[in-house]
Each structure stands twice: as C-alpha cells, then as structure tokens.
Amino acid sequence: MEDLLLEIKDLNIEFHDHDVPERVVNGLNMKLKRGEILGIVGESGSGKSMTAMAIAGLLRRHDMKIGGEINFEGTEILHASRTEIRGFQGDDIGIIFQEPMTSLNPVKRIGWQVEESLRIHRPEMSKAQRYALAIDSLKSVELEEPEKTYKKYPHELSGGMRQRVMIASAMICEPKLLIADEPTTALDVTIQLQIVKLLQRLNREKNTSILFISHDLSLVKQLCAKILVMHDGRVVEAGDTLEIFTHPKEAYTKELIGAIPKVEKMKQL
C-alpha cells in the first residue's frame, strides 16, 4: 500500500456551458504506483486530457461539475482549497503540455521560466543556488550549453529543445509525479524518440512516476509498463501493456491497435 502514489476513485467531470450537460469523464478509476510509468491512450475527445487537468488541479471552472476523489499521497486534491493545491502544483506534481510553442512565455528568458517553481516552492533559496539548480536541470534534459540556453528566449529554440526546457522546468523541484500530456505529438519523429528516451531516463534516475498521455500507441508501447485505454470518457481497458497489445479484450482496443500503421501495403489488401 505504501508505494501507492495516486489513486482516482469514480472521477466524473461534466461541462455545463451548453444547454445539455456534457459528461467528458465518466466513472474513472485508476491507481499509479511510485516510480511507475502509466500510459493513458485514447483519441481526441476521449477525456484523457481532462483527467490529467483534474489531477494537476487545473480544472477550476464555475461551469463544470466534478465528482469523485483523487488521492495524492493520501491527500484528497480534487476538492482541496486553492492554496493547498498550489502547494502541490510544480512541487510534487509537474506537468508538460503538447504545444511547446505556447507553453513557454515568449517574453521571458528560459532561465527565468525554469526557475519559476523554485521561486514559489523554495523561497529560502538564494539566487546563486537557483541558478545552479536551473543549470543542473537543463543539463539533465541533455540540452547542450545550458549556460547559453539559460539566457535565451523561447523563439530562439527549436520545438524539441523547447520541450526539453518544459521538462526541465517541470522536473526542477523533483516532483513525485510528472504528467506529460501528448508531449511529443507536435515534434518530429526522431525528436519524439529522443524525448521518450529522456523521460525513461528521468524515471529511472529520479524514480519519478510518469503519467504519459498520448494517442500514439506505438510510443506508449515503448515507454509504459501499464496502460489505460479511454474512449468517450470511460476506461475501456486497463492493465499490463504487453498483455493488452497481445490479447486485447475489448473491441475498441482491438480497433485502436489495428489502426497503428503497419509496414504492409494497403493497396494489395
């Protein structure tokens, strides 16, 4: 029981911004152990990003109804106060988004953005300590010349480098959980592979649990030991990655796996 980091019980998310309430997540249950990489797989509109937002405490809107519980290290965070959630965000839970273009502030230097969560969660640190940590963090995501990158602006970096910076700033407080919401979708294939390898290494070295959200099954297969397949806000199937890939039980899972492009001629089919 001790190594359980995150447990979600019966999560329901409903939008009320239209005339008809729209249920985007429906009775979701999941568990994540310390040091585990869990993949959430689904197509757009399956509710996977909403689930991630709920865990990160980013779902706070008046036109929304949220039910269920999210236990993070024994604390219920779904209905916790804003101040309490702010204590978690960036410190114990880091998050990286799909679009590295928009998730960095274009008018601030890289260093400033990487240090931001230190400024909030480690106010006792001196400027020099922060700088040292930021450089370390940039180094750990395999950015060349971290001192130079520190002084650059986001537009001077490529997409892959930006995503590395995002990972560096999410990892700087050494969170127990890293939520990666489609972190590689906007990147080139060869860069995707690098980012996946980087996440794998960080998971190994720092024992960070990773929630990897993606629609790309072949990436998830490479990275995650366990997966959770979502469709229309529901969990279709969950379990061991290899088991699901070799013996999918549900029709939807079979369809998804069947849709992975294979190296065979469609023409002759």
Q: Does 18 bind another protein (CB under 8 A)?
A: no
Minimum CB distance to another protein, residue 215 (Å): 6
Q: Does 215 bind another protein (CB under 8 A)?
A: yes
Q: Are strands 4-15 and 64-72 parallel, antiparallel or unpaired?
A: antiparallel
Q: Residues 63 to 122: which contact another protein by CB under 8 A?
A: none
Residues sharing a CB contact under 8 Å with residue 248, sequence separation 6 or more, in sequence order: 237, 254, 257
Q: Does 156 bind another protein (CB under 8 A)?
A: no
Minimum CB distance to another protein, residue 113 (Å): 23
Distance CA 243, CA 162 (A): 35
Minimum CB distance to another protein, residue 159 (Å): 7
Q: Does 232 bind another protein (CB under 8 A)?
A: no
| Rounded (to 5) percent helix, strand, coil in the chain | 40, 25, 35
Half-sphere exposure of residue 43: CA atoms within 13 angstroms, side-chain side: 9
Distance CA 146, CA 141 (A): 10
Q: Does 256 bind another protein (CB under 8 A)?
A: yes
Q: Does 192 bind another protein (CB under 8 A)?
A: yes
By CB under 8 A, name the one of 14, 174, 216, 232 that touches another protein: 216
Closer of 78 and 165 to another protein (Cβ): 165
Q: Does 222 bind another protein (CB under 8 A)?
A: yes
DSSP 225: S
Taking Cα atoms as reference points, which of 43, 59, 44 lies closest to residue 11?
59
Contacts to another protein by CB under 8 A = 43-44, 159, 188-193, 215-218, 222, 255-256, 259-267
